[in-house]
Structure 1
Amino acid sequence: MLAADNISSILGWISIACWIIVYSPQIYENYTLQSGEGLSVSFVIIWLLGDLTNLLGASLGGLLPTVILLALYYTTCDTILLFQIYYYRWKRSGIQSTNTDEHNEQAPLFGNATLQENPVSAKTLAFRYMASLLFVTAVGIAAWWVTRDEDTSLASLTEEESQPQGSKWLYIQLLGWSSAALFLGARVPQICQI
């Protein structure tokens, strides 16, 4: 039987695996549709600022490497999303200038109409969701297995050794709270548009 600490660690790693793949569907959909028009630029920019302050605060605070890597990963994903938005706009403007049907109201909004014509079956969707769930669970368990000896060495640190002191602590707190405010504030423009 697994101890409570091991179960907690496994669930933590599964959570990290979920956080890692959460951006993948949006980036893939933008690539497939060759468009980023469904995304709010202000939302992505505010999230990028939140992720940058999170990354800086986690680095200054000497947090666990997984926290720092996750912040770096999210910063990279935000940057990719912004790149996709502007790249596909630029690409579409070049296509529209050569397209004679650019003002056709019957034309599909996105150039790839095959995605709209071939809906995915419920069986296929169920398989994809189950495969995703099994994937993140397997990754979480594998990550715990690889790092299980490191978890015990980290637990032996005293609280005094793991806490930053002085003005550095204040900067880290300010960055953390700024990050949280940016993440929460990113929703305000969308709420105001409703």
Structure 2
Amino acid sequence: MVCRCENRDYNKFIAGVFQECVSGTTGVVSFIFGWISICCWIVSFLPQIRMTFLMKRSEALSAAFIMCLVMGDLFNLISCFLLNQLFTQQILSIIFVSFDAIFIFQHFYYLRPCNQTESKSITFKVSESLLYGFIVVLIINNVLWSGFHNQFGLKLQETVYDICKTPKELSTKSAQYIIGNVMAYGSLPMYLASRPGQIIKNHKRKSAIGLSVGMFSTTAAANIAQLISLFSMSQERQYLIQKIPYVLGCSLPAICDIIIVIQWFMFSKIDKIRNCKSQPSEEKFAICQLSNETTESTVGISTAITSDLIK
């Protein structure tokens, strides 16, 4: 439902679509990056869910990664609603838990021996890409249409709309505030413990098979966008102190996500070499042979240049 704000310089487009009172450049920037983060989180887990479903294999994801992620997201969900956090943060917490449920189901279902069936191709088909593109265009079109339409209505007859509800301030001594902060800080070690488990498993496997680089690159972007949103909202000392668990919960996992992306590129090359050597067909043998010859010639040229320089 469309609502109006008491502050006269509020953004009518945002109020008309999202029923939030946002004013000033920093507020709008924070809101935009908050929703960029939400969009990234919405699509971030889909590549891994899709890959696991098509390959019928779930050993790529660490069990520690999944379990720590679930516990962290549950604590985060509770804290966001108890502490009346930003609407974008509350939406994110619900999305997290929803995807966690799918991850848990896939992980244990595809670990069963009877479900280790032959996998399908994980490459995107044209029809599938067109479907995703159509959904994105449809959502953006609806948001823009609703925003401009409601914005026009607020400019013409602002007084006919109700005032937007704002979160109530909590007393720092109330049980709700204390429990919410305990849950918020409790989610931090869970998030921090999730990524190292995945990094260690990737290092032990020395393989990127079954691991989606799309998931971790998008979660890194989502964490960075959420971090920008938090800092853009306010730079006041008291605000930043309250946001410490959320700032750490965004920044540190983002660093680990970048490390996992680097691992994926490193181990993908190793997987290609293994796959090339395991296939005895003449075509792939020729490709491997050409690759080896190119490598040897490169090393030989480098050695010759080095020798000339030494002389």
1:74 aligned partner: 96
- After superposition, residues 1-194 of structure 1 pair within 5 angstroms as 4=25, 5-90=27-112, 93-94=113-114, 111-112=118-119, 115=121, 131=133, 138=140, 142=144, 145=147, 153=164, 157=166, 161-166=168-173, 167-192=175-200, 194=203
Unaligned runs of 5+ in 1: 97-109
* 1:76-130 deviation digits (Å, cap 9, x = unpaired): 211211110111122xx1267xxxxxxxxxxxxx722x527xx669xx7xx88x9
SS at 1:187 equivalent: helix
Unaligned runs of 5+ in 2: 1-12, 14-23, 155-160, 204-311
Contact 1:46/1:186 (CA < 8 Å) preserved in 2? yes
Structure 1 residues 6, 63: closer, same or farther in 2, change over 3 A? Answer: closer
TM-score, normalising length: structure 2: 0.43
Q: Distance in 1 between matches of 2:180 and 2:65?
A: 24
Structure 1 residues 172, 11: closer, same or farther in 2, change over 3 A? Answer: same
Q: Which has the higher contact order (CA 8 A, sep 6+)?
A: 1
TM-score, normalising length: structure 1: 0.64
Contact 1:10/1:144 (CA < 8 Å) preserved in 2? no
Q: Name the count of aligned residue pairs.
A: 164
Query: Which has more radius of gyration?
Result: 2
SS at 1:82 equivalent: helix
Q: Distance in 2 between matches of 1:40 and 1:164?
A: 40
Contact 1:58/1:67 (CA < 8 Å) preserved in 2? yes
2:301 aligned partner: none
Q: Distance in 1 between matches of 2:145 and 2:90?
A: 16
Please state how far the C-alpha of 1:142 moved relative to its aligned partner: 4.3
Q: CA RMSD in A?
A: 3.9
